[in-house]
Amino acid sequence: MTAKTRILSRLRAAPSQQKAAPSAEDYAVAQQPWRFDSTERTSRFKDLLTAVQTEIHDCTSETWPQTLAELAAQKGWRNLLLPENSPLNNAIEQTWQNSVSALPPLQHYDQAIEAWREALFFDTDAAITGCHAAIAATGSIVLWPSPSEPRLMSLVPPTHIVVVKQSQLADNLLDLMQQQQWQQGMPTNLVLVSGPSKTSDIQRVTAYGAHGPKALIVLFLTDC
Amino acid sequence: MSHSHPLHDFRAASSHAAQDPNQRHNTRAAMDFLMQRRAAQFPDADELSRLRDLGQKIRQRALSQLPALLETLEARCNANGIQVHWADTPAEACDIIAKLMQQANSQEIIKGKSMVSEEIELNHYLEAQGMTALESDMGEFIVQLAHEKPSHIIMPAIHKTKVDIAHLFHDELPRTPYTEDVDELIQIGRHALRQRFFTAKVGLSGVNVAVAETGTLVLVENEGNGRLTTSAPEMHIAITGIEKVVEKLSDVPPILSLLTRSATGQPITTYVNMISSPRKAGEKDGPQQVHLVLLDNGRSQAYADLQLRETLQCIRCGACMNHCPVYTRIGGHAYGTTYPGPIGKIISPHLLGLDDTKDLPSASTLCGACSEVCPVRIPIPELLLRLRQESVTPENEPNHPHTVRGQGAKYRATEKWLWRSWARIYSKPALYRASRFAATRLRGLLPHDVGAWTIARAKPQPAAKSLHELVAEYQATQGNQP
C-alpha cells in the first residue's frame, strides 16, 4: 500500500462529522470593517506603508517619470532594471533620453534568469514594476508576475520601485479577490508586498533589508 | 523520530530552565512584547470574536471533508504542474526530499522557515547522508549556527540576546568583525546567505495554507527569504502537514488576518507568497519544478477522534505560547518537542506517542489563557484533560477504544485502587461517615512527608471534627431545624 492509500484510508475510517460551510454573512467580518471612503482609502494605504519605512511619492501620469529620474540621480543607483514590453517603458526611456543630467543606465529583463543570474544577484541596484492592484486595509501591493515582469524583479535588487494608480486601490483582500474572481485562474506566483523586507529576529529589534529589497518606493499616481 | 535520541526529561529540563535568570528574562521580555503587539491589533472585541468564529468554522469545515479536500488539492496541483508526494512518517518524508535533491543533482538545500521540516528532523537526516541543509530565515540561521533548536515556532531565536548573536557571528562566520548593532548583524546574515541563494539548486519551504480549490500554496513571511527559497532555485519543495488544507481561496483572507495579527501583531506580513505552479513556458524565472510533500506523522490518529480532531484546527500562530504562564517561565527548549507551549502539549502526543510525552498534558495550570487567544478557538484545556485521561487509561481497558499511541503511560495500579476506593467511600453513606470519623480522630497520625504534595506545600491538616458534626452541634445549641 502506498503512503497515500494508507493515510486516506485512515482518514476515511474516522467518524464523519458534517460541518456547514461558513455563510456570506460569516465572511462579512473580513470585509465590512475594512471598507473605506475614497479619502480614507488612500490615506490608510499610505499611512500603513509609511509606517514600515516605504517611501511614497505622489505623482501624476505626466510627472512620475521625472520623479523617477530625480530619485535615480539622488539615490545613486548604478543601473535601473525595467520590465520587457511594459507600458511603463516608453515614458521612462524618453525621460532618460531628454535628461540633461547623467542618469543610471537602463536595463531590461529580456532574457531568462539562467542567462544573467550573476548580474541580477550582485550588480543590479534597482528595478521598477507596475502592480496588479493595491489594498487599503493592510497597506499592500498586489504583484502578479508575468513574462514581462518576472518574479525576481521585485525581490532580488536592493531597491524596488512600484507604480500604483489610485484607481487600483481596493478596500480589502477578500473584496478584491471576489471582484476579480481570482479562483478562476491563479498566476504562477502572486505576491502581496507590504513594505521593504524586514526582520525582528534579533532581540525584537526591527531591521530592514533582511533578504529582499532594503527599500520600497511607491510612485502613487493620483490622476488615474 | 522520538527514538533517535534518549527520552527527554521534561521535569528536569523545566526545573533547570525555570532557575535560569537569563532565560527567564529573555522569554518574559519577548512574550510581553508579542502580547502587547497582538492586543494592539485587536482593538475591537466584537470584530475579533466574529473573526475567530469564522476562523473556527473554516478550519472545522475543512477538517470535516479532509480526505476529499486532500484529493482535490492533489488533483489541482497536478493540473497546475505541481507534483504531490505523500509521507506517512518523518522517515518517508526525509527520504522523498533526499531523492528529489539527488534528482536535481544537488547536495545542498536552502530552507525557508518550516516547522514541519523541524518535526521530521530533516537537517539531521541529510547530514547523516552527507548532504547539507542551510537555514535562511535569520532566526533559524542563528539557531543553526549555534547548533541549537528553535525555542519558539514564530521567533526561533528569542532566547538569545544581540550580544549572544554578536559573539556567535564573530566566532562562526569567517572574517566577521564583532558588532552588537542589529542592522549590521542582519546585513552580515544577508550577505552570507545571498551567495547561497545565488548558487542553490533546491529550495525547501513550509506552507501556511494550502488551497484545494486552486491548488495554491500560501506562505507568509517578512524577510524575503521565503520568496527567494521558492523563486530562485531550479526546484522548490514545499512540505506541510495534511491538516493545513482549506477548501476555497476566499478562506485565505480571514485565516491570514487571524494568523499575522495573532502571531506578531502585524496587520499583514511584509510578504504573502501564493504559489500555484512551476515556471510556465515564456516565463523568465521561477523554479522549473515544484513539489509538495504531504505529511501525516500522527495527524490521522488525532483525526480519528472527534474531540482530539480539534487539535488539527491549529494555524501555528504561536499566540497560545505567547500567553502561557508556563511557557513564559520555562521557555521553548524545556519541552524537548518541535512544537512547544500549549499547542505543543496537545499535538506532540500524536506525533511522538503519549509514552514519550506523558509529562506534557499535566504541565499546565489549565488557566485557559491559550484558548482565550486561540484564533480558531481550539479548546486547549479540555484537550489537555482528555490527554491526561488517556495517559492513565491502559490500552486493554474494556469499553475504551485505543485512541492515542502510548496511552496508559502514566497508569499505576495503586492510583487506580485509590480512586476506586475514594469512589466507593463517597457513594456509601456509612463508609463516608466512618471515613470522616477516622480522618478527624486519627489526624495526628498523618506523616510530615506526604510524597509529592509536601515538595512545595504544607501538609494537609484535617480539622478536629467534620463539617457534618459541627453543623449538628450548632443546631443542637440553637435548638432549631435546618
DSSP-based three-state secondary structure for A167 = helix
Q: How far apart (Å, rounded) are the C-alpha atoms in residues A77 and A215?
A: 12
Instruction: Give φ, ψ of B261 to 5 degrees.
Output: -70, -40
pLDDT band at B146 (very low <50, low <70, confident <90, very high): very high
- End position of a domain, from candidates B300, B333, B354: B300
Query: In B20-65, which residue ranges form alpha helices assigned H by DSSP?
Result: 21-41, 45-64
pLDDT given at position B481: 57
Residues in B 45-84 with any Cβ partner in A closer than 8 A: 47, 50-51, 53-54, 57-58, 60-61, 63-64, 66-67, 70-71
Q: Give the domain extent around A143.
A: 35-221
Distance CA B142, CA B225 (A): 14
**Inter-residue contact B116 to B229 (CB < 8 Å):** no
Kindly report the average pLDDT of chain B as a whole number: 95
Q: How many residues does chain B have?
A: 482
CATH classification of the domain holding A43? 3.40.50.10420
**Cβ atoms of residues B220 and B260 within 8 Å:** yes
pLDDT at B446: 85
Q: Which of A33-37, A129-133, B175-179, B400-404 has the lowest mean pLDDT?
A: B400-404
Which residues does B352 contact at the CB level (< 8 Å), separation at least 6? Answer: B2, B298, B337
Q: Which of B300, B324, B343 is the last residue of a domain?
A: B300
Distance CA B152, CA B118 (A): 12
Which of A27, A33, A139 faces B250 most closely, judged by CB atoms?
A27
How many helices and strands in chain B, by DSSP H and E? 22, 10
A180: DSSP letter: T
Assess if residue B5 is contained within a domain.
no
A118 with B283: Cβ contact below 8 A: no
- Mutate which of B155, B227, B310 to test chain A, going by most A C-beta atoms within 10 A? B227
Q: Tell me, yes or no, whether B236 and B111 share the same domain.
A: yes
pLDDT > 90 fraction of chain B, expressed in percent and rounded: 88
Give the closest-approach CA distance of A7 to chain B in angstroms.
7
Cβ-defined contact of B249 to A213 (cutoff 8 Å): no
- Backbone torsions φ then ψ of B115, nearest 5 degrees: -70, -30
Residue B227 domain flag: yes
B130 part of a folded domain: yes
Using CB atoms, pick whichever of B92, B183, B214 lies closest to residue A183: B214
Tens-digit pLDDT string for chain A (224 aa): 899 999 999 999 999 999 999 999 999 999 999 999 999 999 999 999 999 999 999 999 999 999 999 999 999 999 999 999 999 999 999 999 999 999 999 999 999 999 999 999 999 999 999 999 999 999 999 999 999 999 999 999 999 999 999 999 999 999 999 999 999 999 999 999 999 999 999 999 999 999 999 999 999 999 99
Query: B281 touching A, CB under 8 A?
Result: no
Buried/exposed code over B63-81 (b: 16+ C-beta within 10 A; e: otherwise): bbbbbebbebbbebbeebb
- Confirm whether A62 is domain-assigned: yes
Nearest 5°: CA angle at B144, between B139 and B149? 80
Q: CB-based burial of residue A152 (10 Å sphere; 0-12 exposed, 13-18 middle, 19+ buried)?
A: buried
Task: Give the span between the Cα atoms of A151 and A157, in whole angstroms.
Answer: 11
Distance CA B429, CA B426 (A): 7
Share of chain B above pLDDT 70, in %: 98
Check if the interface score ipTM surpasses 0.85.
Answer: yes
**Is A131 in contact with A138 (CB distance < 8 Å)?**
no
Please state the domain count of chain B: 2
Domain stop point among B275, B300, B325? B300
Same domain for B292 and B420, yes or no, is: no
Alpha helices in chain A, H assignment, sequence order: 3-13, 24-27, 38-51, 64-75, 89-98, 117-123, 173-179
B460 pLDDT band, cuts 50/70/90, is confident
**Nearest 5°: phi and psi at B379?**
-80, 75
Residue B295 lies in a domain: yes
Q: Is B300 within 8 Å of A11 (Cβ atoms)?
A: yes
Give me the pLDDT at residue B203, please.
Answer: 98
Domain hosting residue B84, numbered range: 57-300
B110, containing H or E segment: strand B108-111
Q: Which amino acid is at B359?
A: D
- CATH number for the domain harbouring residue B89: 3.40.50.10420
**Domain contains B49:** no
pLDDT range class, residue B7, cuts 50, 70, 90? low
Q: Is the pLDDT of residue B4 over 50?
A: no
Grid cell for residue B333? 527548549
Query: Nearest CA to B206 among B124, B252, B273, B301?
Result: B273
CA distances, B473 to each of B109, B338, B439 (Å): 80, 59, 18
